[in-house]
Amino acid sequence: ASATAVAAATVASTTAQWLRDSPRFPAFVAPGRPRVLVVTGSSPRRCSDPDGEHLLLRAFKNKADYCRVHGFDIFYNTAVLDTELSGFWSKLPLLRTLMLAHPETELLWWVDSDVNFTDMLFEPPWDKYAGHNLVLPGSEENVYTIKSWIGINAGSFIIRNCHWSLDLLDALARMGRTAPWGDKTFLESSYCLSGFWAYIVDRFEEMRRDSTTPPEPGRWPLTTHFMGCKPCGGDDSTYDAAWCRRSMERALNFGDDQILNLYGFKTLNTTAVRCVRNDTGGPLDAGDEELGRLLHRTFRAA
């Protein structure tokens, strides 16, 4: 056997052994409900635009809110773990390191710093991915027929903590063009795992107006990804900076409103908030199904 295959077998058996020895850290927290670690990060350097730091903070708060609501762990990285793989390549060595260090994590969900959650209630359909190791935002048509450059995206993807994934990360890190994907990859187009921001940001008012109570899951784009915007500075922004900035603010407020609403407040699309409910009588009696689900999560099966 090759050295890589031997190393692979060793890691696999060590992981299996660790899980057997650590019943308090199961990879599934309930039947059909995998333990999920959301992974994100940004450059170790300061933004050249000071406003960028503020946006990064708000974008991180958005992810922390989403993770708390759904009971996911979150890891924020600012280190360059491999000098050869810096910038947006840094997700590869990071994911690999986290997979090895956290055998209890079944799925890792990479989320770019410029991906914001805009549906705080929706949770990916985990059971649908049981036979797959990699879930990428995309559709067969856009990827294989139209071959659209925005047909696939690595800004938000879900990857299983398993040997196939470690091998894939190794192959990608070597920029191998022959990555063994095949059936183990799932192209997800039934919801916005990575929603292109320019198609979304002008529709928030319309979406809110048209939503029903209680809302049906998947009503709003799960994420709004500001690909091509460079809020932290740099000259390689594809889009007008003021348009990016304004749109980010709108997406962040849209997500934040869903959280503030749990506590009886709403934003006014500014930093000011307004009280919309008098909840002081019995905050634990939240009868509304949506509020109850967001405030008091239960580890339901997928």
Q: Which residues contact ligand UDP by CB under 6 A? A: 40-43, 86-88, 90, 112-114, 155, 227-228
For the beta carbon of residue 57, count every other beta carbon within 10 angstroms.
10
List Cα–Cα distances, 247 to 53, 93, 116, 231, 250, in angstroms. Answer: 16, 31, 11, 11, 5
User: Could you give the string, one character per residue 169-208, with x where binding to Mn ion holds by CB under 5 A and - elsewhere?
Assistant: ----------------------------------------
Residue 106 site contact among Mn ion, ligand UDP, none (CB < 5 to 8 Å, cut-off depends on kind): none
Q: Which C-beta is closer to ligand UDP: that of 134 or that of 262?
A: 134
Phi and psi, residue 221, nearest 5°: -60, 125
Q: Which C-beta is closer to ligand UDP: that of 43 or that of 118?
A: 43
Q: Is 80 in the site for Mn ion (CB under 5 A)?
A: no
Beta carbon of residue 89, minimum distance to ligand UDP (angstroms, whole number): 8
Nearest to 91 by CA among 129, 38, 54, 47: 38
Q: Which of 134, 159, 227, 251 binds Mn ion (CB under 5 A)?
A: 227
Sign of CA dihedral 143, 147, 151, 153: positive
Q: Which residues contact 169 (CB under 8 A, 6 or more apart)?
A: 92, 93, 95, 96, 99
Beta carbon of residue 59, minimum distance to ligand UDP (angstroms, whole number): 9
Q: How far apart are CA 163 and CA 13, in angstroms?
A: 11
Beta carbon of residue 252, minimum distance to ligand UDP (angstroms, whole number): 15
Beta carbon of residue 201, minimum distance to ligand UDP (angstroms, whole number): 15
Beta carbon of residue 229, minimum distance to Mn ion (angstroms, whole number): 8
Phi and psi, residue 49, nearest 5°: -100, 115
Taking CB under 5 A as the binding criterion, the range among 52-60, 158-166, 179-187, 223-231 that sits at the site for Mn ion is 223-231
Residue 292 site contact among Mn ion, ligand UDP, none (CB < 5 to 8 Å, cut-off depends on kind): none
Determine the 3-state secondary structure of 235 from DSSP: coil
Q: Which residues contact 133 (CB under 8 A, 6 or more apart)?
A: 159, 160, 162, 164, 165, 168, 184, 185
Q: How far apart are CA 28 and CA 30, in angstroms?
A: 6
Residue 113 site contact among ligand UDP, Mn ion, none (CB < 5 to 8 Å, cut-off depends on kind): ligand UDP
Q: Which C-beta is closer to Mn ion: that of 126 or that of 157?
A: 157
Q: Which C-beta is closer to ligand UDP: that of 34 or that of 41?
A: 41
Q: Is 231 in the site for Mn ion (CB under 5 A)?
A: no
Beta carbon of residue 202, minimum distance to ligand UDP (angstroms, whole number): 20
Beta carbon of residue 47, minimum distance to ligand UDP (angstroms, whole number): 11
Q: How far apart are CA 187 and CA 183, in angstroms?
A: 10
Phi and psi, residue 105, nearest 5°: -85, 120
Q: Which C-beta is closer to ligand UDP: that of 244 or that of 260?
A: 244
Q: Can you state the angle between helices 241-260 and 50-70, rounded to 10 degrees?
A: 30
Q: Which C-beta is closer to ligand UDP: that of 39 or that of 120?
A: 39
Residue 261 site contact among Mn ion, ligand UDP, none (CB < 5 to 8 Å, cut-off depends on kind): none
Q: How far apart are CA 289 and CA 272, in angstroms?
A: 27
Q: Where along the sequence are the contacts to Mn ion (CB under 5 A)?
A: 112, 114, 155, 227
